[in-house]
Amino acid sequence: MSRVGKKEILIPIGTDVSVASNEITVKGKGGTLKRALHPAITIAVTDGKVEVHPANKTRLARALWGTYAAHVRNMLAGVNTPFMKRLQVEGIGYRVELAGKQLKLSVGFSHPVMVSIPEGVVVAVDKNIVTISGANKEQVGEFAASVRAVKKPEPYKGKGIRYEGERVREKQGKKVAG
């Protein structure tokens, strides 16, 4: 049995949850999120609570039970307070700036790298800190990972794009023969 799936999910005030044919919709002050439901899972909304149950006793249904409960919790949290990821750009001459619906990264290549900002994600740039926020946790995390993948922090000087608070283990480098 799923420990995560068995926990009750309370609906915060000002949030509306509805389940239509194979789709759950969560509306709140931060936006509207929709997710398709798997046939092995049933979701019921009753008096301020969301209940997630497996539709049958298969291994797949038991595996998806906790997963969908976590998805519903994340949707409820995201429409009330947006999820945030902060990235640091470190390195001499490394810059980041917003150019319309794109993020312009100058990170040591011969050309600037342009990354398109997906719909539903808000990006703010302050000096060398990029703040990515949005209601959808998966979308925010995926976009932050794709920006970081442009220039991962390297282990010798630590230059690159890293999550705020991420520690990069630096290597010693070559010894001078003498």
Residue appearing with tokens 């019921």: 44
> The domain 3-80 is classified under which CATH number: 3.90.226.10, 3.40.50.10490, 3.40.50.1100, 3.90.930.12?
3.90.930.12
DSSP E strand boundaries for 23-142: 23-28, 31-36, 41-46, 49-54, 83-90, 95-99, 102-106, 113-116, 121-126, 129-134
φ and ψ at residue 58, rounded to 5 degrees: -80, 165
- pLDDT of 25 over the 60 cut: yes
The pLDDT tens digits of the residues spanning 3-20 come to 888 888 999 999 999 999
The pLDDT tens digits of the residues spanning 49-101 come to 999 999 999 999 999 999 999 999 999 999 999 999 999 999 999 999 999 99
Closest to 33 in 3D by CA, of 83, 65, 74: 74
8 burial type by CB count under 10 A (0-12 exposed, 13-18 middle, 19+ buried): exposed
Fold agreement between 3-80 and 83-163: yes
Instruction: Provide the pLDDT for residue 178.
Output: 56
Return the domain boundaries, the chain.
3-80, 83-163
Domain 83-163 sits in which CATH superfamily? Answer: Ribosomal protein L6 (3.90.930.12)
The pLDDT tens digits of the residues spanning 90-132 come to 999 999 999 999 999 999 999 999 999 999 999 999 999 999 9
130 burial type by CB count under 10 A (0-12 exposed, 13-18 middle, 19+ buried): buried
Are 161 and 88 in contact by the 8 Å Cβ rule? The answer is: yes
**Token reading at 109:** 């290549």
Give the whole-angstrom CA distance, residue 68 versus residue 55: 12
